[in-house]
Chains A and B, each alone.
Chain A
Amino acid sequence: MAALGRQVCDWHRLTALSWACLSRRTPHLRERRRMSPSLFCKLTTVCSGESLQESSCVRPKKYVLDPEYSTQLVPCLHGEQRTRVEPKSSELEKVISSLQDMGFDEAHVNSLLSMQPTVHPQQLLDIISEFLLLGLHPEPVFMAMKKSPQLLKLSTVQMKKRSSYLRKLGLGEGKLKSLLHGCPEVFTMRQRDIESVVKVLKEKCLFTVQQITELLHRCPAVFQEDPSKLEYKFQYAYFRMGIKQRDIVRSDFLQYSVTKIKQRHMYLERLGRYQTPDKKGQTQIPNPLLKDILRVSEDEFLARTACSSAEEFEVFKKLLEREEEESESHVSEEEEEDEEEEEL
């Protein structure tokens, strides 16, 4: 009996190793074939040869059905911890296999299942299916879920509604991938928050529909901005810097923080290297390109565009911060005074 016991141990080890060896040698099997645990068991039986014959008295099927065993097996292959899953093992098995059918590998499957333990695996499967239906591949979907697990909490109804709204905005299948990567919150945000952003872009900033589409595609973080701050940024670009809608979109202007924009622009302006165009859109000096102002690193900005030193820029930033603070408090003081006057 002891000998048998040893052989059983060997066999388990062998199976584990065989699975690993199989995975490596048969990557295509991951994609569309059924790789349920029962199947792999048969494969290993074939592979291992003689030693298995002796252990045929051990019933493989038994251990497949044992959830505890299956949880232990996969970690020893891929070293991942797995949390407990409440639902019935057969349901879980179905979900696992469906996910694998869709093209998620074992590791990703485990990862997905452990991300939101409160979410029912079936719901998880449904929502992932929705994402795949958008034309996205498993790998990007997995990355998005990993980055923002709250996506898994969406209902399919919410998902469908949001996708159709985004499509209406011109953000079709091809663009949704970058949206999902750049700003997954686009799917989980409140509808009215998205609408207020779009409204500002359309009605206050007067972007065309195509410009809005392009903007949202290039800078999806814009969706999450406070609409009044967005409007302020736009006005700064348009009136203060003399940049029109087309260039605002092309330069990804709206993705930069107001602080950075003001620091760099006002520094250039006070150096005499940037002028606000007059009514005819003309300046006495050629203004630097927007990309050389905002897109470049600070070092490059200082070396090439501003032609100034880092220490001077540091002092300038501090002075500007103070100026802004003081003008804000001055404005609110004035407002208070106005209010007081009105009361009289």
Chain B
Amino acid sequence: MTYSVQFGDLWPSIRVSLLSEQKYSALVNNFDAWDNVSAKLEHLGAKDFVKEAISPQELEPESDLSPPPSLNYSPNLRCFTFPRGDISRFPPARLGSLGLMDYYLMDAASLLPVLALGLQPGDTVLDLCAAPGGKTLALLQTGCCRNLAANDLSTSRTGRLQKVLHSYVPQDIREGNQVRVTSWDGRRWGELEGDTYDRVLVDVPCTTDRHSLHEEENNIFQRSRKKERQMLPMLQVQLLAAGLLATKPGGHVVYSTCSLSHLQNEYVVQGAIELLANQYSVKVQVEDLSHFRKLFMDTFSFFPSCQVGELVIPNLMANFGPMYFCKMHRLP
């Protein structure tokens, strides 16, 4: 990996974090007794980082000006973390009073793409590479999804997604028309459901750098999988392009990965936008997320030099990520 070139002096602290235990956060399940759960988590010494990031913002006196669009963050998300430098672990999730699990343990950085997507009540939403289901669950937690389509190519992985939904989401939401789970090829979505969705999340398969550094067997970085690795950005471009095509004109897309590589991040975004312009005459604009980033600077370490999008880099004080995300607007 040539990350030392890409990150320079930041690389050693990223590397040591990748090789050390990841920090988790607890996403509160709004479908169960969320206020009890929140109290319980606070009692443990954790804080809702979303609330902490958002609330000072609301107190600002410049409230007569409507906030810039990129500052729209998906509502109703409650997610607890232990303070900086605190390595405490959350106890495993348990069944709450309504028979559903009380919280879902996930990397806090994974919530940022969902927050950035800025769901609004009544939105139709597509999660193109949904498994194993953390972000899908978060999308449902917003309470904004009129319809949610969750897809993953791998049937075994969609199996896991179904289990998560089963444990966290009430039956009436799961079994009605509201949620649809499929195992189709994401690259085909432009043809399948073009111009359909208000919000699309494309959380692509990537080199999952954190896990790859640990696993010896069948590691994506080993020589025998070089071809696969080189093909990855192409697959990612195709998926993002499909996601953009599936968006309604005027809709929004967030592309995300858990890789540090700009070949999988910025290059893919730029490649997909070019592809859409050249082959489909569809105009896509990248949205600036720097205001959004500032909101969460106290909880996460962000890489300062992304050309487009934002990148959460792991640091021992806040061992979340890596998580790259970029928001795009499909112009009407």
Q: CA separation between A142 and B280, bound complex, in Å?
A: 93
Within 8 A of B (CB), among A143-185: none
| A272-B11, A315-B87, A315-B317 given; A323·B16 CB < 8 A | no
A316 engages B4 (CB within 8 Å): no
A129 at the interface (CB under 8 A from B): no
Flag if A312 contacts B317 (CB, 8 Å).
yes
Closest to B9 in A: A307
User: Which chain A positions have C-beta within 8 A of B315?
Assistant: 312
Q: How far is the CA of A318 from the CA of B316 in the complex (A)?
A: 11
The yes or no answer to B85 lying at the interface (CB within 8 A) is yes
What string of 1s and 0s marks CB contacts (under 8 Å) between A254-276 and chain B? 00000000000001001111000
For window 1-60 of B, CB contacts with A under 8 Å fall at 4, 11-13, 15-16, 19-21
The smallest C-beta distance from A48 to any residue of chain B, in angstroms, reads 74
Q: A311, B4: Cβ atoms under 8 Å?
A: no
Q: Which residue of A271, A311, A314, A318 contacts B16 across the interface (Cβ within 8 Å)?
A: A271
Residue of B nearest to A313 (CB): B316
In the complex, whether A308 has a CB less than 8 A from a CB of chain B is yes
CB contact list, A295-344 vs B, under 8 A: 307-308, 311-312, 314-316, 318-319, 322-323
A46 CB to nearest B CB, Å: 76
Q: In the docked arrangement, what's the CA distance between A312 and B87, Å?
A: 12
Interface residue tally of chain A, by bracket?
10 to 19
Cα-based distance from A311 to B16 in the complex (angstroms): 14
Q: How far is the CB of B219 from chain A (nearest CB, A)?
A: 17
Most buried by A among B16, B20, B87: B16
Nearest residue, chain B, Cβ from A271 = B12
Of A273, A312, A322, the residue contacting B316 (CB under 8 A) is A312
- Complex CA gap A312/B316 in Å reads 6
Asked whether, in the complex, the Cβ of B21 is within 8 Å of the Cβ of A323, the reply is yes
How far is it, in angstroms, between the C-alpha of A298 and the C-alpha of B20 when the chains are bound? 21
B4 contacts A270, C-beta separation under 8 Å: no
B231 to chain A, nearest CB (A): 28
Q: Which of B4, B12, B315, B317 gathers the greatest number of chain A CB atoms within 10 Å? A: B12
Q: Assess whether A272 is in contact with B15, with CB atoms less than 8 Å apart.
A: yes
- Interchain CA distance A190-B12 in the complex, whole Å: 48
B21 to chain A, nearest CB (A): 5
Q: Is the CB of B12 within 8 A of A311?
A: no
> With A312-B316, A319-B21 as given contacts, are A271 and B85 in contact (CB-CB < 8 Å)?
no
- Write the nearest CB–CB distance from B314 to chain A, whole angstroms: 11
Residues of A with C-beta under 8 A to B12: 271-273, 307-308
Residues of chain B lying within 8 A (CB to CB) of residue A273: 12
A270 and B15 in contact (CB under 8 A), knowing A319-B20, A323-B21? yes
The answer to whether A270 and B20 have CB atoms under 8 Å apart is yes
On whether A315 and B316 interact (CB within 8 A), knowing A271-B13, A308-B13, the answer reads yes
The SS class assigned to the A binding surface is helix
Contact flags B315-330 to A (C-beta < 8 A → 1, else 0): 1110000000000000
In the complex, what distance in Å separates the CA atom of A267 from the CA atom of B315? Answer: 13
Cα distance, A318 to B12, chains bound together (Å): 19
Residue of B nearest to A267 (CB): B16
CA distance A190 to B145 in the complex (A): 77
What separation, in Å, do the CA atoms of A170 and B105 have in the docked complex?
A: 61
Measured CB to CB, the closest approach of chain B to A243, in angstroms, equals 22
Chain B nearest CB, measured from A17 CB (Å): 65
In the complex, are the beta carbons of A311 and B317 less than 8 A apart? yes
Residues of B within 8 A of A271 (CB): 12-13, 15-16
B83 to chain A, nearest CB (A): 11
Residue numbers in A under 8 Å from B16 (CB-CB)? 267, 270-272, 308, 312, 316
Residue of B nearest to A321 (CB): B87
- Complex CA distance for A323 and B19, rounded to whole angstroms: 12
Q: What 1/0 mask marks residues of chain B from 276 to 319 whose CB sits below 8 Å from any chain A CB?
A: 00000000000000000000000000000000000000011100
Contact digits for A263-294, partner B, Cβ 8 Å, 1 yes 0 no? 00001001111000000000000000000000
CB distance from A263 to the nearest CB of B (A): 12
Q: How far is the CA of A316 from the CA of B21 in the complex (A)?
A: 9
Q: Whose C-beta in chain A lies nearest to the C-beta of B12?
A: A271
Complex interface: chain B residues within 8 A of A311 (CB): 85, 317
CB distance from A209 to the nearest CB of B (A): 41
CA distance A273 to B11 in the complex (A): 11
Encode B83-95 as 1/0 by CB contact (under 8 A) with A. Answer: 0010100000000
- Binary per-residue interface labels of chain B (69-82) against chain A in the complex, 1 for a CB within 8 Å, 0 otherwise: 00000000000000
Q: Are A272 and B85 in contact (CB under 8 A)?
A: no
Q: How far is the CA of A271 from the CA of B20 in the complex (A)?
A: 11
Q: Which residue of B13, B15, B317 has the most chain A CB atoms within 10 A of its CB atom? A: B13
B interface vs A, CB < 8 Å?
4, 11-13, 15-16, 19-21, 85, 87, 315-317
- A-B pairs with beta carbons under 8 Å apart, 26 shown: A267-B16, A270-B15, A270-B16, A270-B19, A271-B12, A271-B15, A271-B16, A272-B4, A272-B12, A272-B15, A307-B12, A308-B13, A308-B16, A311-B317, A312-B13, A312-B315, A314-B85, A315-B317, A316-B316, A318-B87, A319-B20, A319-B21, A319-B87, A319-B316, A322-B87, A323-B21
A-B CB proximity, top 6 nearest: A271-B12, A270-B16, A312-B316, A270-B19, A315-B316, A271-B16
| Further contacts, 9 of them, CB under 8 A, given A271-B13, A316-B316 | A267-B16, A270-B16, A270-B19, A270-B20, A271-B15, A272-B11, A315-B316, A319-B87, A322-B87
